[in-house]
Structure 1
Amino acid sequence: MTLDSPRREALVMAVFAVVILTMPLWMAPFGASYPDLLQKFAIYGIFAIGFNILFGLTGYLSFGHAAFLGVGSYAAMWSFKALSANVLPAVLGGVLISGLFAALIGYVCLRRSGIYFSILTLALAQMSYNMAYSVLTPITNGETGLKLTQTDARVFDQLAGVVPEAGLPSTSLFGLEMTGYPGFYFCAVALIGAFFVALRIFNSPFGLKLRAIKSNQTRLLYTGFNPKPHLWVAFILSGMYAGLAGALLVVTDPLAGAERMQWTASGEVVLMTILGGAGTLVGPLLGAGLIKYFENIFSSFNAQTLHDAFSFLPDFLENTLVFLISPFVGHGWHLTLGVLFMLVVIFLPGGLMEGIRRLTRLVKARRDRNSDPEGAAVVPPSSVEG
């Protein structure tokens, strides 16, 4: 079903906003309702949505998007240190600086396509990571990273007469500290806004052109259409999304380090997008939520947790199941995630969203059969001779 009418878009946004804002309630049964994890769901959801604009719509696979995540974090942290503890200038600065950096990187990398584009993005991202650790140490503080201190200038706060609090400084939104649930709801509002922009892009002529580029760029070239400007804009938008996610990481945890620019972070967002369903609106969010759930909740399971879960079984069966399952939980959560990813790629190439679509069609077909078990009689039309 296409979501191109204003009424449908409004309905989708209303449902999406309710789902996101009520996450502390419906995530409680899964043990994932605490603010820190909810913040990660929202932040990495934004990261995955932005990556999907490039990869899901155009088919251009970037292995260097973590560079924009790191740039957004550093820009936001310097805003906190030099300008104000207010989160709005930091978020705006992180998005704009990441967009400028993405414009530069995209201008270079988009001269190639396919695997050459992917390798270029990976190489430039690793260069950025190594520079943050060594050459740019006066700006990034090397492996120690940047953090807030009492000696920071915070010019805007001084001009406004804001008295710094004793102890470790914290980020705030007009006096409301961005910790706990206030921090989550700030990230949630940013996620809702990011989803709305992505929805408009998907349903716009610009989004249609990006899909055409993914479908057959050679045919577009034969028609005289130049895809490079559209690809460049998509790359910049994707980088700005990553910058927003990086800025929000600093908003909720005031520390910026070069580790956020590693290739593993770039690979993680690729897994999120493919696992959930590249080219779909909600798929990358599902992938991001699933991976972060595995990383933070599933990884905490241990043998005792399994014993408690299977305690209703006979001892022999209980011990056998714990022996078989224990390698896949706790420190072995990557193994479970790897098996799940393999199953999705093999049986559901369209990701989890394809599985949901198949299940929906199956339920609908079964419901139709139950409503008309004997089947409608088909009467062939009689021919009428003139």
Structure 2
Amino acid sequence: MSNTKIVSPKKDMIFMAILSVVVLTMPIWLQPFGAAYPDLMQKFMIFGIFAIGYNILFGLTGYLSFGHAAFLGVGSYTAVWSFKLLSMNVIPAMIFGTVLSGLFALAIGFVSLRRSGIYFSILTLAFAQMSYNLAYSVLTPITNGETGLQLEQADPRVLDRMSGIVDDGSLPTPNLFGIEGIGYSGFYICAALMLISFFIYLRIFRSPFGLKLRAIKSNQNRMGYTGFSTRPYLMTAFVISGMYAGLAGSLLAVTDPLAGAERMQWTASGEVVLITILGGVGTLIGPLLGAGIIKYFENIFSAFNDTVLLNAFSFLPDWLAHPVASVVGLFVGEGWHLTLGLVFMLIVIFLPGGIMEGITRLTRLVTKREKAEPKSEAHETKEKEQTSAGEV
């Protein structure tokens, strides 16, 4: 399905219903893959939000940002400060984290969007690295530097104390009106927010605003020649994308109430670029697939150590099991990046449109075969009739 194809709202609702069922049943169907534990599923949801927000900018407008980790970090720091000063309820943390990230994106976008292409990418990278260095050293009173910002027993938490919530002597857990933000309940909180975020993303994708963003990606100069001002649309897309990143950062603080400068480093920005390209730039579901695959590699493949590999190949003779485990060990455990790099290389070479292009090709192939089969049967029937007529 192309981006310009008109899709009825009814089909979008059916699509959302199917996606909701798939997401909410993840603890069941991820069991065979060894990925049904809450921490990993929360990462699927959080980085899915990060990726679909990034796709609004990169996928729809073609503007490649290397600095989105800055907004992820701002969201995390803001959420932890909300937990420390106001309440352990996740709602104020998410609201403040999303809003402040949007304001930060507005400031960075105001400067960066004056340029396009590689110059825009370099500007966003520069701002992200500046933010990282500020968080790591200069703004230590706010960010706690290399140690990271974390909760303490003596934190005021004004709203909680006003509500009569009494500390039991241990560090409290982020919650949604008593529902803990960790474990399976935490996963379902993240899943609900991801589905809401995806629905908003879907409406943007289908809207006239989304169509204008794709037109900017197609030929921005031509739109300028017609007197159409593209800058307000680019700025809006940049801010919305930054707010999505801020929400993802806030949820990272919900699952683990610790904010460190490493979340603002350039590697985190590169990761969301990789996720989007791997899944399919400018597609609806591609960023979610990319986030799931990369986080699966990062958390499952990296856990395969020498002992696990030797047990896996224990059915082989000892003289063969050790060499095989050594070779496979190059691609898992600490070498999981090598496997990810090979997968990414194959995707870029053979499927430039990402995993979604592969799914589209496979769907078309199956559809063509289904259409060809009835034709071939009809052709055979016709030949038999002609043969019978000739015999007569």
- Give TM-score scaled by structure 1 length: 0.94
Q: Identify the match of residue 31 of structure 2 among 25, 28, 32.
A: 28
- Once residues 223 and 78 of structure 2 are traced to their aligned partners in structure 1, the CA distance between those partners, rounded to angstroms, is 38
Aligned in 2, Cα 1:3/1:179: closer, same or farther, shift over 3 Å? farther
Residues 126-148 of structure 1: CA deviation (Å, up to 9, x unaligned):
00110011111111111111111
Q: Identify the match of residue 208 of structure 2 among 196, 201, 205.
A: 205
Matched, 1:93 2:75: no
Shift of 1:156: 1.0
Q: Please name the residue that 2:389 is paired with.
A: none
Matched, 1:333 2:336: yes
Shift of 1:342: 0.5
Q: State the AA in 1 paired with 2:294.
A: I
- Give TM-score scaled by structure 2 length: 0.93
Q: Please name the residue that 1:6 is paired with.
A: 9
Residues 193-242 of structure 1: CA deviation (Å, up to 9, x unaligned):
01001100110000000000001111111111111000000000000000
Q: Please name the residue that 1:355 is paired with.
A: 358
Shift of 1:312: 4.9
Q: Identify the match of residue 266 of structure 1 among 260, 269, 275.
A: 269
Q: State the AA in 1 paired with 2:80.
A: M
Bigger drift between 36-45 and 146-155 goes to 146-155
Matched, 1:66 2:57: no
Q: Identify the match of residue 291 of structure 2 among 272, 288, 292.
A: 288
Q: What pairs with 1:226-241 in structure 2 (closer than 5 Å)?
A: 226-241=229-244
Matched, 1:173 2:176: yes
Q: State the AA in 1 paired with 2:164.
A: G
Shift of 1:168: 1.6
**Which ranges of structure 2 fall in alignment gaps of 5 or more residues?**
383-392
Please tell me the root mean square deviation across aligned C-alpha atoms, in Å: 1.7
Shift of 1:375: 5.3
Aligned in 2, Cα 1:12/1:345: closer, same or farther, shift over 3 Å? same
Shift of 1:4: 2.8
- Once residues 219 and 313 of structure 2 are traced to their aligned partners in structure 1, the CA distance between those partners, rounded to angstroms, is 52
Contact 1:149 1:169 in 2 (8 A): no
User: Identity over aligned residues, as a percent?
Assistant: 68
Shift of 1:68: 0.0
Aligned residues: 378
Contact 1:85 1:171 in 2 (8 A): yes
Shift of 1:352: 0.5
Q: Identify the match of residue 324 of structure 1 among 321, 324, 327.
A: 327
Residues 317-345 of structure 1: CA deviation (Å, up to 9, x unaligned):
65554343221111110000001101000
Bigger drift between 208-217 and 368-377 goes to 368-377
- Once residues 147 and 305 of structure 1 are traced to their aligned partners in structure 2, the CA distance between those partners, rounded to angstroms, is 34
1:47 aligned counterpart, secondary structure: helix
- Once residues 47 and 40 of structure 1 are traced to their aligned partners in structure 2, the CA distance between those partners, rounded to angstroms, is 10
- Once residues 154 and 322 of structure 1 are traced to their aligned partners in structure 2, the CA distance between those partners, rounded to angstroms, is 52
Shift of 1:369: 2.7
Q: Please name the residue that 1:41 is paired with.
A: 44
- Once residues 188 and 297 of structure 1 are traced to their aligned partners in structure 2, the CA distance between those partners, rounded to angstroms, is 20
Residues 101-158 of structure 1: CA deviation (Å, up to 9, x unaligned):
0011001100000000000000011001100111111111111111111111111112
Contact 1:43 1:249 in 2 (8 A): yes
Shift of 1:165: 2.4
Bigger drift between 147-156 and 260-269 goes to 147-156
- Once residues 250 and 145 of structure 2 are traced to their aligned partners in structure 1, the CA distance between those partners, rounded to angstroms, is 18
Q: Please name the residue that 2:387 is paired with.
A: none
Q: Please name the residue that 2:145 is paired with.
A: 142
Shift of 1:177: 1.8
- Once residues 211 and 175 of structure 2 are traced to their aligned partners in structure 1, the CA distance between those partners, rounded to angstroms, is 39
Bigger drift between 162-171 and 26-35 goes to 162-171
Residues 18-65 of structure 1: CA deviation (Å, up to 9, x unaligned):
111111111110000000001101000100000000000000000000
Shift of 1:310: 4.5
Q: State the AA in 2 paired with 1:96.
A: V
- Once residues 311 and 351 of structure 2 are traced to their aligned partners in structure 1, the CA distance between those partners, rounded to angstroms, is 33
- Once residues 184 and 351 of structure 1 are traced to their aligned partners in structure 2, the CA distance between those partners, rounded to angstroms, is 27
Residues 158-191 of structure 1: CA deviation (Å, up to 9, x unaligned):
2212112221221111122211011111000010
- Once residues 305 and 158 of structure 2 are traced to their aligned partners in structure 1, the CA distance between those partners, rounded to angstroms, is 49
Bigger drift between 176-185 and 29-38 goes to 176-185
Matched, 1:370 2:376: no
